[in-house]
Every structure is written in structure tokens, then in C-alpha cells.
Chain A
């Protein structure tokens, strides 16, 4: 206020200044403040509640997504167990006499740490299982098994030199593929089929 009175630059006339101030000396109605407070928009509470609802919904969606995602992950974890079964399958039953007895043990030891590496190969497991169940078992004759066991014992005791096993015998090496001679078959009289001459067509016997 004092600025205006003391400043000659803007003090263009007290009469005009008073006139303007009088023109603006208007009071609002007594109920004006009450009306403002009564008609205060309730939008903030409304907005808060909707904000809260939206946030809660988003949190619920995230929680549901996490809950449903976890079983999917745990379902994949049994895969290593399946690979363990695969590793112990064929060699044992295929050749009990040829395969060393330590081999299954070795495969178990080797397969245990490999489970984590083999875990991602989940799709292969059912295929291998089908092969396990449907593959026919390899059978050996008893005398062949006995011969193989004797051979292994001989090798173990040093009675048989394994290096000589891979070399064919002189008689076998001498045979050329074109010289294979088939032994003649024993004389067998040709079979003759005689017609039924005594039968007459259309006559019941």
C-alpha cells in the first residue's frame, strides 16, 4: 500500500485509486464459503478408491500369475529322475557275461552329476521309455554263454591272449570269398505228386 502512495510513477491520482478500490469493495454473499465447502467435489476420495482398486487388482493378477507359474516349473524337475532310469537300462540285461559287473555302477555314478545337465532334455524321456518296454530281449544260448564265460575266465587268468582273438586263424584267412564251396546235399529222391485218377467229378464218395 505504501508503495503506491510513495511512488510518483504510479500515483496517477488518489481519487482514481480510491474510486477503483471502492468499485471492488464488494462482498460475496454470507453463504458463499458454506456453499464452496458444501459443494466440494468428492472426486478425490472417489479417485483414491478407484486407484486403490486398480492397484489391488494388478497385485492380485501378479500373485495369481506367480502362483500358477510355480507348479509348471516344479513339474519339470522330475526329468533328471527319468534320465537316471535311462542310464541303467540296456547294458546289464543285454550281455551279463560280456559286460563287466562294474559298468552299471559306473553309469550310476556318472549319471548322478549329469542329471542337472540332462534336465532340459525332457521330451526325449518318453521316447526312451517306449524303446525300453518294446525292445525284444537279446537271448544267448546256454552253451554260448558258457563258452563266453570260459573265455573271460581264461583272459582274466592270462591263459588266453586277447590280442590273438582279433586275428583270424590261418585256415579262415586262406578262404577267399569266391572259393567258398558248398557241400553237396545228400541224395534225395524227387517228390512226385500223383493225381487222383479214380475220382470222378460230381460223384459222391
Chain B
């Protein structure tokens, strides 16, 4: 192989190494966000991790176009949400079965307050699941890591006014469902 070909491959590998380092940094700072987005849909820790990992794998293959931090986080959130929704829809029957198993798990060691809190949490999840998709994603993202309206708008690439109205409607609906 001629010298210039070696030079070209070395340059490409160096760029690849730089991309890898950047990607690792993004993984460290965004892994919790992706996990929580997936968890907000699936509510199964292992499933959420699997979906988040799948989203990161897709992000890795497209990382040359996603080097900007904000763009990466927005892309990651949308991809994770979509993958989680797909997983939820395809595994709905399995998820229901697991939820029943969780509900029917022995609670002997828990206090009455803990049981009440768990039931309340379950009601909340059911209410969130019952929301329309547009209200649901805004409500979930606003509930993760203290995201404010501007942050949610950036992640979803929506106008802040749209996010604001959807967040209000989502919480209003949740309040009604929980009452």
C-alpha cells in the first residue's frame, strides 16, 4: 500500500478515535436521560436499559452527524422514545403479565404507607400511559431531571409555547385521572 494511502487511513482512524472519545463523553452525560425516557414508557429497568442501549448504538453509527451536544441529546431523546414506544407496543402482553406479577408480589415486609404509595404510583403510571402521545412525551420529559419548558422544547424541537400548552393539558388530564 502506498504511503499516501497509509496516511489517509491513519487520518481516518484518528478521526474515528476522536469520534469515539466524543461519543463516550456523550454516553456518560446522557445515559441517565436516555434510561429515564425509556423507563418513563416501559417502567421496567432492564427493558429501559436495553432500549437506551439500542438508541446509543444507533446514535453511534450516526455520530458523525450528531457531534453537536444539543443535537445529540435531542436526537437521542426522540430515538429512545420511539424505540420505547415500539417496544411497549410489541411487548404489551408481556408487560401486562409482568405488571400483574409485580402487583401480586408478596408485600409482607412493607408497611401500609408503602403499599399506599405503591398503589398511588401505579395509578400515576396508568394515568401517564392514558395520556395522548403528544401530551405524554412532554409530561415525561418535564418530569425527568428537572427539565424546564425551554429544555423540553429544545429536546423535542418544538416551540416553547407548544410545549407549555401541552404540559398544562397533560398535567390537567393527569390531575383529573388521579382524582
On A, residues with C-beta under 8 Å from B are 1-4, 7, 9-10, 12-13, 16-17, 19-21, 23-24, 26-29, 32-33, 35-37, 39-41, 43-45, 48, 52, 56
C-alpha gap A40/B59 in the complex (Å)? 10
C-alpha gap A41/B54 in the complex (Å)? 10
Nearest 3 CB-CB pairings of A with B: A20-B143, A28-B35, A10-B168
Chain A residues near B28 (CB-CB < 8 A): 33
Which residue among A7, A28, A33 has the maximum number of chain B CB atoms within 10 Å of its CB? Answer: A28
- Minimum CB–CB distance from A7 to chain B (whole Å) comes to 7
Contact A35-B53, Cβ < 8 Å, known A20-B143, A23-B124, A48-B16: yes
Chain B residues near A21 (CB-CB < 8 A): 143, 146
Contact A33-B148, Cβ < 8 Å, known A9-B164, A28-B52: no
Contact of A4 among B27, B31, B140, B148 (CB under 8 A): B148
Residues of B contacting A: mostly: helix
Is B164's CB under 8 angstroms from A28's CB?
no
Contact A23-B35, Cβ < 8 Å, known A3-B148, A4-B149, A10-B168: no
C-alpha gap A190/B55 in the complex (Å)? 125
Contact of A3 among B143, B150, B171 (CB under 8 A): B150
Beyond known contacts A12-B175, A24-B40: 9 more, CB 8 A cutoff: A3-B150, A16-B178, A19-B120, A26-B35, A26-B36, A32-B53, A36-B27, A36-B56, A40-B60
For B139-151 the 0/1 string (1 means CB < 8 A from A) is 1101110101110
